Amino acid sequence: MIRQHFGLTRDPFIIDHDAPLLAHQQRHFDILKVHSQQGGFCLILGEPGTGKTVLKHHIIHHDTKHWITPVINRSLHSWHNILRLLCQAFDLESDGSDHKCEARLIAEARALHIKGKHIIPIIDDAHLIPIEALRKLRLLLEDFPRSHNLILIGQPALNTTLQLRINHDLKTRVTYSAKLDALTANHLAEFIHSQLDRVGLPHATFTEEAVHLITRSAEGTLRAVKNLCIGSLIEAVRDRTKTVDLKQVNAVLLQPHWRHNLTGEPAEPVLIPPANLPTQS
């Protein structure tokens, strides 16, 4: 609908590996490229919507001839299941005992090392992974060649867990960590304009007032900006206009999930009198 209305050949505000990185994301990405060849763990931390997924897509699609980047997106599992997810990510057979799965993974890692490949496993939502499973993964990686690096992407709670004394063995394996903070309004406006450039729309498609309202309402997160922009473009289609202004953005912000304080909720709890009370004579 948006593509047809605006005469586009691709959907706007789609986050994938072709999406340009913002300056701070590019800086972290460049550092990760160095650490990926040295073994150990790298942590990418941030609250939901701060741009971790964009960074992950770029890691996965960087230098696919030399980088092997198996991804586990379902981290809330026991070691038994995570081990099999790893086998599947490496396109290996996952049947048999845990010991057999581990042996297959080690053999595959060594074979890839001989071919000059760098192994960069990625665990998304790593703050959800059971700590014992992460510890067993660390022990498994001890038998991998040095040309590997485990990237753990998650919320800041992951770093809090690793700071505990009992997890010192895991913390000492971390070679690099970065926290993606909430973005400034200028960064968010840069993101909007870069996405418009990507699909061939002029910056004036969103008025300055609309951009200001979107960046103010997004509370520093790229995901919120993306959703607000897509919603506003849909409203522009409905209004048969090719310019997104305050009217379209406000129409999106009136949706219940964007409103922090719903005026329809009573200030005090409603007291319902008990039924069938005996009347006084």
- Whole-Å CA distances, 1 to 5, 12, 94, 155: 6, 11, 43, 35
- Domains 23-180 and 183-255 belong to one CATH topology: no
d(CA 220, CA 187): 9
Per-residue pLDDT of the chain (281 residues; tens, 9 = 90+): 899 999 999 999 987 777 778 888 899 999 998 888 777 899 999 999 898 998 999 999 998 898 999 999 888 788 999 999 999 999 999 999 999 999 999 999 999 999 999 999 999 999 999 999 999 999 999 999 887 899 999 999 999 999 999 999 999 999 999 999 999 999 999 999 999 999 999 999 999 999 999 999 999 999 999 999 999 999 999 999 999 999 999 999 999 988 765 444 544 444 445 555 455 54
Model pTM above 0.85: no
For the domain 183-255, what is the CATH code?
A: 1.10.8.60
Q: Does domain 23-180 have CATH number 3.40.50.300?
A: yes
Spacing of C-alpha 187 from chain mean position: 17
Residue 129 CB: number of other CB atoms within 10 A?
Answer: 24
d(CA 237, CA 245): 12
* Domain range summary for the chain, segments of one domain joined by +: 23-180, 183-255
